[in-house]
Each structure stands twice: as structure tokens, then as C-alpha cells.
A and B are shown apart, each in its own frame.
Chain A
Amino acid sequence: MTRDEIFAKIKDVLTDALGVDDDEVTGSARLQADLGAESIDYLDISFKLEQAFGIKIGQGELFPDGSAQNAGFVKDGRITPDGIDLLKKKLPHVDFAAWEKDPQISKVANLFTVDALVNFVQRKLAA
């Protein structure tokens, strides 16, 4: 499946799960800030991706399971270098470049864009 085909299917998943319009779902759109996703929507999106692509998504595989955000990895509202390493290891489909210049824990949600989902599915299908 090409990246464009994956993107088209993900667009369907997101318009269905989040009730957004087609044209709102761009590669750089952030699930929470731009598309209005709330906590339960992440589970909904996981379920729908499993169904759409015939894949199995483990807990903490697509979205963080909270291990890097626990107190040991947080200092002054920012995730420590060790915590960032852990996040990068667990979430290889996410682009951390812009965020890690000022790794505020309150902005972790901004990392989850439509492109991150496409990367995730692409890696998963290639595995």
C-alpha cells in the first residue's frame, strides 16, 4: 500500500472518529489541537485503524502509555533527556525534532499529527 493510499484510509478513519471535514485532515494537522480529539478518541482511532488496516495495535504502541511522563522523567514541566530517549524508542513513528527544543510535557499531545499516524501504519504494514 502506498503512502497516499494509507493517508486516504486514515482520512476516512479520522472523519468518522472525530466528526471533522475531509479538508481538515492534512498531514500536519494535530489530532488534539487541530482536530479536537479527546482522550477516548485515541482509543477509538486505534480500534478503527486496526479494523481499516487489519493490524493489531498494542497498548502504548501508537500513543504514549504514560511511562515517559511519570514523575521520574519530568523536571520543571519538561521531559528529561532520558524520558525523551524512552519516548523516541517507544514511538519511532513520531517526529520529535521541533518539540524536543523545548520539551514541555503539556505539549506532548502536539506530537501526534496525521503524518505520525501514516508513519505508524506504514511501519506496521512493512513489519
Chain B
Amino acid sequence: MRWMWIDRVLSLEPGKRLVAVKNVSLAEEHLHDHFPKDDARALAACPVMPASLMIEGMAQSAGVLVGHATKFQEKVVLAKVSRAEIEADPTPGRTIRYTAEIERMDATGASTKGVIDLLEPFTDAPARTIGRVDLMFAFLDRNLAGLDFPEHNFVFGEGFQTLLRTSGVAEP
């Protein structure tokens, strides 16, 4: 399966908004390298979810939203990170919630706005907003005319299909 940085789609308002979650687990190998113990600087290990992968999580959330709005007919690719502000490091055992909204969309692409919240399952702590990520997506076949891409939609492959099915999202 292709790398997936969201675990479940919680809700989808077609063409408008998608909410997805990602559970951060100490079993994920990348956390062991981000950041490992540093003896030279006497720093203890500090496993946190990398901000770059939170941008990818938002890109997948917003990408599914935009793809769904085109009935998955377009090859929706991330073209620009217009804004990315992330102000906290999610640690294992917490949940990241991505809320993506379509801001503008036309025949060649879309822009989205996104909010990242941090949730603390099984505690009374309220969810808090820890970031904002705004993105631009291009529809590959509309923007690189003359270049040949495979007929099938390789962007929304098996991984995304499984995610949508296990999240109970109906096909557009």
C-alpha cells in the first residue's frame, strides 16, 4: 500500500470540507529517528510527529476532498504549499485532526485551506488548533498538455480506495 498519512476520514461534505484523523503511534519507525537520543549534546530521545508529514497528511485530506469533487476523474497533484504554520509537536498517543476546505476550484486546479487540531484521546483535555496549512492542487492532464500520462488514475490508487471504504465514505 502506498504511504498513507491519514487513518480515517471522519466526515466528507462533497465539494466543501473533509475531516480526517491520524493517530500518532510509537510503533511508527520514523518517530524513532525524529528525534533520537543525542549523547554528544546530552539530549534524551524526543519522538514527535514530523511537521513535514503533517503537511502531507493535510495534502492527502485535501487531495481526497478535491478528487472526490471531480469524481476521481482528475489526477489531483499537490502543486504548491501556500502556507504552513505548525506550532506544536504531536507526541505518541495523541490524535491529529485535519480539516480541509475547498476555497476555490476550476477546470485546472483547486486551492484549499486547512486547520490542524491536536486531540488527546481518553483525557478531558480539549482539542486545540496547532496549525494551518493552505495548499494548491493542479489537475495533471489539464496543466501539462502534450505530456503523456497513464490513462488510469494513479493518484487515487488502492491505498486511498481502502481508506475511503474503511471510513465508510460513499463513492461519488
Contact = CB atoms under 8 A, between A and B. Distances in A.
A39 B138 CA distance: 10
A82 B108 CA distance: 27
Contacts of B65: none
A59 B108 contact: yes
A59 B145 CA distance: 15
Interface string A52-84: 000000010000001000000000000000000
Contacts of B143: 39-40
B138 A40 contact: yes
Nearest to A40: B79
Contact of A17 (B82, B104, B109): B82
B103 A47 contact: yes
Contacts of A51: 103-104
B82 A43 contact: no
B62 to A, nearest CB: 14
A13 B104 CA distance: 15
A39 B145 CA distance: 13
A12 interface: no
B107 A47 contact: no
A35 to B, nearest CB: 15
A43 B145 contact: no
Which of A16, A17, A40, A47 has the most CB atoms of chain B within a 10 A radius of its CB?
Answer: A40
Contacts of B91: none
Interface of A: 16-17, 39-41, 43-44, 47, 50-51, 59, 66
Given A16-B82, A43-B106, 20 more contacts: A17-B82, A39-B143, A40-B80, A40-B109, A40-B136, A40-B138, A40-B143, A41-B80, A43-B79, A43-B108, A43-B111, A44-B80, A44-B82, A44-B111, A47-B103, A47-B111, A50-B104, A51-B104, A59-B108, A66-B145
